[in-house]
Amino acid sequence: MARRGTDRRTWDVVGHAGCVGGTGGGGSRKRSRWDASDPREEEEVVVVVGDGTDGPPSPSRKVATARVRWATYVDPVELEGVLPKQGYVVLVPPGPKAGRVEGTDVDDDGHLRFRIVQGDVVDRERTGSTGNGASHPSEARERRGEHGPAGVEGDGVDASVLKLLWKVRTGTPHQRKSALRQLSDRARSFGAHALLTHLLPMLMDPALEEHERHLLVKVVDRVLLRLDELVRPFVHQILVVIEPLLIDEDYYARVEGRQVISNLAKAAGVASMIASMRPDIDDPDEYVRNTTARAFSVVASALGISSLLPFLKAVCRSKKSWQARHTGIKVVQQTSILVGCGVLPHLRAMLEIVEPCLSDENVKVRTVSALAIGALAEASAPYGGESFENVLSPLWEGLQLHRGKVLSAFIKAASFVLPLLDHSEVDAYARGIMEVCLREFQSTDDEMRRSTLQALRNCISCERADKEYLSASILPPFLQLFWVQRTAIDRRMSQAVAETTVALAGCVGCKEIMATVAKSLKDSNEWCRKMGLETLDKMLPEPGIADLDLRAEELLLDGVLFAFQEQVSEGAFGLFVKAFTKLLVALQTRAKPYLPQICGILKWRLNHKSATVRLQAAELIGNIIPILKVCDEEELLRHFGVILYEYLGEEYPDVLGSTLNALCEVVRALGVADMSPPIKDLFQRLLPILKNRHEKVQENCINLVGIVAREGAEIVSAREWIRVCFELLDSLKAPKKRIRRAAVNTFGYIAQAVGPQDVLSTLLNNLKVQERQNRVCTTVAIAIVAESCSPFTVLPALINEYRTPEINIQNGVLKSLSFLFEYIGEAGKDYVYAVTPLLVDALVDRDPVHRQIASNAIRHISLGVSYLGCEDALLHMLNYLWPNIFESSPHVIIAVSEAIASIQYSVGPGVVLRYLMQGLFHPARDVRQSYWRLFNDLFIAWQDALAGFYPGTVRRCTKSGSHFDLDVFV
């Protein structure tokens, strides 16, 4: 150790008493409170680590500084003389990568302490790695110098592009929008090289998140449209980045990838696309060939199939590589899937390309060829049957020769071609395909089993399907081999079995099939019960259960009840309710003997400790109430009314909402007068529930209150209805539109019950609130009250309220008038002259929103009173409406244009044309643009009617002084 220096200043010496003594002055100076210090920190020293050499330490060997009581430099010779000879080992100083001294501090005794950091830790701290090769995304960006837009230095094109890209990737929504617009507008000035050399590596960043990838792909899409032919040198790099999106699990990512490749093909041209993807056609990696085929299909969709047909024909005839033939056929398959019926003009040419490959020497080529023919047949159905005549023979031979996955592809292809053939050929081919399917029913390959089920459905869909053969030869083995637990466990297979079962039931009847379904409903495996319910749900109402006898009905209902009680998985609760409801609706009055047992089970489950079970029971009760009404079970209805009334104290909001919905159905079925318990008692229980803000509870409670107000308003006092009105005001702020619609409808029912005055007063006061959605819903409610109680009961109050000098109230009154005249239609002819002064005042207001809402009201008025003799009032309003065509706000322009277009239906297009003639050739460009925009709209709507109103260009007078009336103005 070494002292920093020998020159000591006055504040470096601390006496025993804590005073500061000076060395240069003779006397003592005045003590300062800044002179006190910790006695342990008397001197500042530099701590060094020796490297085995003599002499003073060099600056590069300084590691840390600290204040100690006494310190000096000790060289290795002095240390050897002080330390014992034994018990110590001289260590070699670590190298720069082996470790470093860090984090020195001083303990309580004034001794220095060191922390030696190991070399691998140093490397990890330097690189940001976590030790296993991974690193945090932000640390990885820091390693690359990518600190976002703020970390990009320079003023060149590359720096500008990189800044904008980082704003798109990590900026706020406003920054992203601005940066995206700049990249799009300045794409050609930036150049393709500057944009794509930064954009494509950023898309390949492993730390890229999903939403960031979406934003960057959007940038690529926008940029390609602007760069156009400049992207040709970068086609292959773009495809390398974008092609993996075509097989992404996310649907929207696949859509984005197709959109980018489509724009790239339009910008670069078919020649550049083929040249860039040609080396990947015969790539040994199947992943590369798959993505390349999908990219080619997108190019065919964008530029037309005909542009790729010569290239595909050459590729599929290649003798050099079977991979090339395989990829070419896959392009045909993916194109037919992507384009759909768009393959019809090119169907014969595409089949000529695929047909030779059905007998190719390579198995994979034969398989993909059969799949391509199946895709072409599925895409072109029900047309193009004559084009497939040449491939019938190879397909039939393949059905006889192949086994395994190749046979599965041929079965699928033949079954899709079958419905396109003539009726004379269908029978023989269908019988042969079904025999092959019958043989493969026992296959253990799931793909083969799904193909046979698809083929069976296609054969059944033919008009001349042999019902006797299906019933005798196909149905028994199908029910025996497919309605098993192994099939039910596989989700895809169970759906295919359910669809095939429904198709068979529609062809041969459902009696035997329902016996199997009823048996599966009582299976110990819940997956089998679920498959049975799915099949039952698909079979109702078509093909239906009309041919079932009494015993089959009993077995089916017993199975459904067993499955309903034994269900375990909560995910299938909705399916149980849906299937059970459909079955009872299909049975109608035949369900009456079973209703007491069903209702007993539902009442027991309504008292279950599980909230999910209670929810399911309440929903099912609400669904079967109409069936009880059809079966004249009024006692059960009243009993359910009492039970549901008792369960209005339910603590779970979902269950309470379903209970209220069931009560609504009971009230609709019994009526207000026969309701048990009495409506008055029920209404008192509903008032506290109105304050519940759960969406389901709120909607059903408001609906129930509306039913009471519509059918039994006299049972409840007027004071209670006004109280309900105040409670409903908060419902106008609900986020769900269904709740707001139910609330405004209920306002109309209450206004009919107690009169519009009190309800209208409540609603007009609500126009003063600041929340826009609340005010809009209030205006709708006012319009509904006017429609329910006649407009003359509401209009005086509205016109008087407009005198209030508050913008929200005046806008609300105008919007109420707009909705009011929209609802009453032709009845508005009696009130047009009453509201004309108000609308004229609004049209000359300084607030553009005033004029916009007034224009909307005029639109509804003019459409409602067309040809009813109110043209003078409409012309008066048109005179005040016309100056607003020069507004700059797009919302005002749209509203004014629609109002003028609506007035045309009443006053005729000729009158509006006279207004337009004044400004079509005005010297001011902005004036001409406004007039010509309106003239174009008028010309499109009334082209023939305007012929008699055009002014003549040249007055051509005859000898008698007359002129032609139909001189057309061009």
Question: CB atoms < 10 A from the CB of 430, how many?
Answer: 24
CA distance 246 to 217: 13
Report residue 957: phi and psi, to 5°.
-95, 145
Residue 511 contacts by C-beta under 8 Å, 6 or more apart in sequence?
A: 547, 548, 549, 552
Nearest of 593, 655, 677 to residue 627 by alpha carbon = 593
Query: What does the pLDDT average to over 109-132?
Result: 42
Report residue 45: phi and psi, to 5°.
-125, 165
Query: What does the pLDDT average to over 316-322?
Result: 85
pLDDT one-digit tens code per residue, 215-260: 888 888 888 888 888 888 888 888 888 888 888 888 888 888 888 8
pTM of the shown model = 0.65
pLDDT range class, residue 571, cuts 50, 70, 90: low
Q: What is the pLDDT of residue 54?
A: 44
Count of CA atoms in the C-beta half-sphere (13 A) of 137: 9
List, in sequence order, every residue forming a beta bridge with 111; answer none if it has no partner.
none
Nearest of 478, 512, 469 to residue 498 by alpha carbon = 478
Among left, alpha and beta (phi > 0; psi -120 to 50; other), residue 755 is left
Among left, alpha and beta (phi > 0; psi -120 to 50; other), residue 671 is left
Count of CA atoms in the C-beta half-sphere (13 A) of 198: 22
Q: What single-letter amino acid sits at 634?
A: E
Nearest of 110, 129, 109 to residue 121 by alpha carbon = 129
Count of CA atoms in the C-beta half-sphere (13 A) of 449: 19
What average pLDDT does the structure give for the chain?
79
Cβ proximity of 308 and 299 under 8 Å: yes
Q: What is the pLDDT of residue 739?
A: 86
pLDDT one-digit tens code per residue, 428-463: 778 888 888 888 888 888 888 888 888 888 888 776
Tell me which of 502 and 119 has the higher pLDDT: 502
Q: Which of 172-186, 203-217, 541-555 has the lowest mean pLDDT?
A: 541-555
Residue 350 contacts by C-beta under 8 Å, 6 or more apart in sequence?
A: 305, 309, 332, 335, 336, 343, 376
List, in sequence order, every residue forming a beta bridge with 102; answer none if it has no partner.
115
Token representation of residue 131: 């030790």
For residue 510, give the H/E element and its range. none
Whether residue 72 has pLDDT greater than 70: no
Question: CB atoms < 10 A from the CB of 420, how many?
Answer: 18
Tell me which of 707 and 572 has the higher pLDDT: 707
Count of CA atoms in the C-beta half-sphere (13 A) of 383: 10
Strand spans (E) along 643-787:
none
CA-based radius of gyration for the chain: 42
Token representation of residue 462: 């033919």
Where do runs of H (alpha helix) occur along 540-678? 550-566, 573-587, 595-606, 611-630, 634-646, 653-670
CA distance 750 to 770: 25
Count of CA atoms in the C-beta half-sphere (13 A) of 926: 4
Tell me which of 633 and 111 has the higher pLDDT: 633
Burial code (b: 16+ CB inside 10 Å, e: under 16) for 799-835 equals: eebbeeeeeebbbbbbbbbbbbbbbbeeebbebbeeb
pLDDT range class, residue 488, cuts 50, 70, 90: confident
Asked whether the bond before 382 is cis by omega within 30 degrees of 0, the reply is yes
**Cα–Cα separations (whole angstroms), residue 606 to 138, 243, 645, 646, 665:** 54, 54, 12, 11, 17
For residue 33, give the H/E element and its range. none
Nearest of 99, 43, 39, 37 to residue 68 by alpha carbon = 43
Token representation of residue 743: 């609330």
Q: What single-letter amino acid sits at 906?
A: S
DSSP result, 723-735: HHHHHHHHHTT-S
Residue 888 contacts by C-beta under 8 Å, 6 or more apart in sequence?
A: none
pLDDT one-digit tens code per residue, 420-429: 877 666 777 7
Give the torsion sign (CA, 410, 416, 420, 424).
Answer: positive
Query: What does the pLDDT average to over 635-663?
Result: 89
pLDDT range class, residue 331, cuts 50, 70, 90: very high
With residues binned 3-state (H G I as helix, E B as strand, rest as coil), the percentages for the chain, rounded to 5, are 70, 5, 25
Residue 929 contacts by C-beta under 8 Å, 6 or more apart in sequence?
A: none
Cβ proximity of 926 and 886 under 8 Å: yes
Whether residue 53 has pLDDT greater than 50: no
Q: What is the pLDDT of residue 298?
A: 92
Cβ proximity of 913 and 877 under 8 Å: no
Q: What is the pLDDT of residue 26?
A: 44
Q: What is the pLDDT of residue 115?
A: 44
CA distance 941 to 938: 5
Token representation of residue 347: 């169907």
Residue 699 contacts by C-beta under 8 Å, 6 or more apart in sequence?
A: 657, 736, 738, 739, 742
**Percent of the chain at pLDDT above 90?**
5
Report residue 652: phi and psi, to 5°.
-85, 125
Nearest of 525, 385, 399 to residue 462 by alpha carbon = 385
Q: What is the pLDDT of residue 204?
A: 84
Q: What is the 3-state secondary structure (H, E, C) of 58-84?
A: CHHHEEEEEEECCCCCCCHHHHHHHCC
Q: Which of 154-168, 418-432, 449-463, 657-671 has the lowest mean pLDDT?
A: 418-432
Nearest of 494, 472, 543, 492 to residue 514 by alpha carbon = 543
Whether residue 84 has pLDDT greater than 70: yes
Cβ proximity of 813 and 835 under 8 Å: no
CA distance 851 to 416: 61
CA max distance for the chain = 143
For residue 43, give the H/E element and its range. strand 43-48
User: Which one-letter DSSP state was computed for residue 804?
Assistant: S
pLDDT range class, residue 960, cuts 50, 70, 90: low
Q: Is 92 helix (H, G, I), strand (E, B) or coil?
A: coil
Report residue 209: phi and psi, to 5°.
-90, 170
CA distance 4 to 68: 12
Nearest of 951, 946, 948, 862 to residue 907 by alpha carbon = 862
Query: What does the pLDDT average to over 724-735?
Result: 80
Q: What single-letter amino acid sits at 40?
A: R
pLDDT range class, residue 295, cuts 50, 70, 90: very high
CA distance 162 to 202: 10
CA distance 523 to 134: 50
Tell me which of 228 and 290 has the higher pLDDT: 290
Whether residue 46 has pLDDT greater than 50: no
Tell me which of 257 and 97 has the higher pLDDT: 257
CA distance 481 to 107: 82
pLDDT one-digit tens code per residue, 493-506: 888 898 888 888 88
Q: What is the pLDDT of residue 94?
A: 64
Asked whether the bond before 284 is cis by omega within 30 degrees of 0, the reply is no
Q: Which of 91-105, 118-132, 720-734, 891-905 has the lowest mean pLDDT?
A: 118-132
Report residue 412: phi and psi, to 5°.
-65, -45
Query: What does the pLDDT average to over 780-786?
Result: 82
Q: Is 523 helix (H, G, I), strand (E, B) or coil?
A: coil
Q: What is the pLDDT of residue 543?
A: 67
Cβ proximity of 76 and 85 under 8 Å: no
CA distance 503 to 495: 12
User: Which one-letter DSSP state was computed for residue 954?
Assistant: S
Cβ proximity of 890 and 926 under 8 Å: no
Cβ proximity of 913 and 901 under 8 Å: no
